[in-house]
A and B are shown apart, each in its own frame.
Chain A
Amino acid sequence: MIEVQGLGVTYSSKNEPSIQDISFSIKEGEFVWLAGESASGKSTLMNCICGFIPQIIPAELEGSIIFNGEKNLDPLQLSRHITMAHQDPETQFCTETVEDELAFGLENRCLSRRKINKRIETTLEDLNCSELRHRELRTLSGGEKQKIAIASMLVLNPDVLILDEPTSNLDPISMKEVLKAIENVRRKSHSLTIILAEHRIGDLVKQIDRVIKLNEGELTGVIEDFQSLDQDEKNSIMDYSYPEYSREDVKKGKTILRIENMNHTLDGKKILKDIDLEVEEREIIALIGRNGSGKTTLVKLISGLSEVQEGKIKIFDNVIDSSNKVPPYELGEKIGYVFQNPNHQIFENTLEEEIMFATKNFSKGESKADKWLKKITTEENLEEKTHPHTLSFGQKRRLNIYSSSPHDPELIVIDEPFSGQDHQNALMIADILDDLWKKGKTLIVVTHNLEFANKFCTRALVLKDGSMVYDGEPVDLKSISGENGR
């Protein structure tokens, strides 16, 4: 059905090819797992199969893609047969409601209103989310958004459905929901070809027919009958384990953060309820909970980035409440904060300037920053004058962590460091965080990664609907959250 022959892609902004000499074929009705680390070329390959490269995304293309005997079709021709749900549903959505989003592609195909209504109804039923039909997209949870992103492609009755890391930004429960939805789709239509790029595929492993492995833009292997492998061989492809980090020399110090009776409301909805918390020096805290459970709100309040409405925060020597606000640039001297989106926190034109950014603003000595600069340039094999926006997603994430530290803050808050990262990148981030902790920092890590929390952190806090439902050692988190996590 799909024949890829000698495919190579070089983006106009880069000198080196992103993928080269890729050849494989996919049969009708196969469930294909596209495996590979971040930046291995998975998204580039999928964009080529849909015809988006080079028509929408400019790049030099070598080789060919043959779909049902026809060579290098354009995206409009291919849109009749192939659809692709992207990693970030927020960016994929182009309307404001669930119904409009599902109707969009069908309206473009000039189907009658009766047919459009029928297709929307059936697709939502297939994905067990009929109740979402009249909801506004912005009111959906992370998992619901991803299911609607998939539904908006399935409603077009494609021959091939491509899914680009559909669970990478989701909490474990939402991840399970989405994987279950994909499993349902597969069960209902065996003629549908599915190409899934995902780091962790959970129970979907039972559905996989073919595995295509990429590494640094090259095809490193094709497994034609995945189910014929024995369990050990399968496990070797799906190794997500973390090493044991030594926490024997943990000597906690004085209390640096105390939260008393914190309540917070946003747009009429109570986001945090009666939060009490104490954090001591040198703790490594995993803050866990579903998307929308209040994790980011809590860490933003701690860092002075959101205004306290009810309750009191004592952090270092500052007391913050509704009548006493402390500007974040004052707290920033002692708190390093890493946001979720790497692009939102890169301000300078070179790595050197980016690493020095906070030290300059806080008028701190540059010697420590120099150390961090050497570390990133050596470990990542980069130049001091490299433009930060030319880095890969994983490198940007590590740069964010590196550049939050040179001004020597005592507490570092990291919001979802592993979001969209493959296992190798996640391990590299864990090593940087371990290094920071060994240098005496206290860490608060907002994460969905229960394995990391268990192996790396000294304490776990679990938020559920704004309430703290667990505060203790990071053991047995899977049963506390009621799910098998990532």
Chain B
Amino acid sequence: MEDKINPVVKLIALVLGAVMVFLIDSVLMLISFVLLLVLLKVFYEVKGRFGRGITFLVIAIFLAQIIFVPEGEVLLDLRLFKVTLGAVENGILISGRFFSLITMSWIFVGTTEPRNLSSALSNLGVPYRYSFLLIIAMRFAPIFQFELSNVQQAQKIRGLKIDKDLKGLIRSVRYTTMPLLYSAMSKVNTLASSIEGRGFGMYKKKTFLYPIKFTFWDVLLVASLFILSFEIYYLNQLL
């Protein structure tokens, strides 16, 4: 679901949010922050759920803290290792930060039209050559994802088994990179020709069919975001 918020304001919110999750060291505050993000994700109907890889990483980060960084009061003695209060707190903080960063990025990508972000950035003086890169990246990400899936299928049907160890990882990179690279190279010239052949870079400025301007309300929203961040940080210090 899209919204009416200026994409640059959302970008600022994303950067501020990323800084905040590293400044917050109160478990209660971080859990509240994570819940707020989950609510936002549901509210904006952002597609996508944690895949096996990310879920595994969140759990692995949490368990690594429990097992390898014991500190403070012992909550549970499991013979092989002791579960301590400090380790649980650290586990929640570190895996919570990782979860927050991923969720914030999802919300940003899921609610922002690349063309609007490009238009809004250009309106603030960013040369459109650079802001256009965002559109290209968003345009080609799903194509390369599809191609990656095809390459992996082609490997499997011709009998390539990739073990889940370092050797397997190296083999996987070797047999995946080359086909993708050649496929990408075959696209680069066409894309560059298509862009330049339609006058990209002809003038210093260009028209935007849907211009996004930075309004008084956007300034107010950014100011509110900074104030909110300071409040959260202050509250975090108290807890």
Contacts and interface: CB of A to CB of B under 8 A. Distances in A.
Interface of A: 47, 50, 52, 55-57, 75-76, 78-80, 82-84, 86, 88, 90-96, 99-100, 103-113, 116-117, 138, 152-153, 156, 300, 303-305, 327-329, 331-333, 335-337, 339, 341, 343-347, 357-358, 361-362, 389, 403-404, 407
Contact of B207 (A50, A113, A358): A113
B207 A110 contact: yes
Nearest to B211: A113
B67 to A, nearest CB: 33
Contact of B139 (A88, A96, A152): A96
Given A94-B139, A341-B150, A344-B179, A56 B192 contact: yes
A291 to B, nearest CB: 15
Interface in B194-239: 194-203, 205-209
A362 B159 contact: yes
A156 B193 CA distance: 15
A110 B206 contact: yes
Contacts of A347: 154-155, 158, 160, 175, 178-179
A327 B159 CA distance: 10
Contact of B115 (A95, A153, A333): A95
Nearest to B197: A79
The 4 A-B pairs with the shortest beta carbon distances in the complex, nearest first, are A361-B159, A105-B198, A108-B199, A328-B156
18 contacts: A75-B196, A82-B197, A92-B190, A95-B115, A107-B207, A108-B199, A108-B203, A109-B199, A111-B207, A305-B157, A328-B153, A332-B159, A339-B153, A343-B182, A344-B183, A389-B182, A403-B158, A404-B158
B40 interface: no
A105 B178 contact: no
- Most chain A CB within 10 A, of B159, B195, B197, is at B197
Contacts of A105: 198-199
Given A109-B202, A344-B151, A56 B186 contact: no
Interface in B108-148: 113-115, 135-136, 138-139, 142-143, 147
A83 B193 contact: no
Contact of A341 (B136, B183, B198, B203): B183
B158 A305 contact: no
A100 B156 contact: no
B17 to A, nearest CB: 25
A33 B111 CA distance: 46
Nearest to B132: A94
Given A106-B207, A108-B206, A331-B157, 17 more contacts: A50-B193, A56-B192, A76-B201, A79-B202, A84-B193, A91-B187, A94-B136, A110-B202, A339-B150, A343-B182, A344-B179, A345-B151, A345-B158, A345-B179, A347-B155, A347-B179, A362-B159
Contacts of B202: 76, 79, 108-110
Given A79-B197, A156-B198, A343-B186, A93 B139 contact: yes
Contacts of A341: 147, 150, 183
B195 A358 contact: no
Interface residues of B, number: 48
Do most interface residues of chain B lie in helix, strand or loop, or is the interface mixed?
helix
Nearest to B205: A110
Contacts of A332: 156-159
B198 A104 contact: yes
B194 A107 contact: no
B191 interface: yes
Contact of B209 (A84, A103, A337, A358): A103
Contact of B199 (A79, A96, A99): A79
Contacts of A75: 193, 196-197
A346 B193 contact: no
A455 to B, nearest CB: 28
Contacts of A82: 197
Contacts of A52: 189, 193, 196-197
B116 to A, nearest CB: 11
Nearest to A111: B207
Contacts of B196: 52, 55-56, 75-76, 79
A358 B56 CA distance: 32
A96 B115 contact: yes
A346 B159 contact: no
Nearest to B199: A108
A389 B138 CA distance: 28
B207 A116 contact: yes
A47 B203 CA distance: 23
A318 to B, nearest CB: 14
A50 B197 contact: yes
Contacts of A407: 158-159
A90 B202 CA distance: 24
A76 B195 CA distance: 10
Interface centre among A91, A111, A335, A361 (most CB of B within 10 A): A91
A480 to B, nearest CB: 30
A94 B193 CA distance: 11
A344 B158 CA distance: 12
**Chain B CB within 10 Å — which of A56, A300, A403 has the most?**
A56
A122 to B, nearest CB: 15
Contacts of A335: 157
B130 to A, nearest CB: 15
Nearest to B190: A91
B115 A100 contact: yes
A56 B190 CA distance: 9
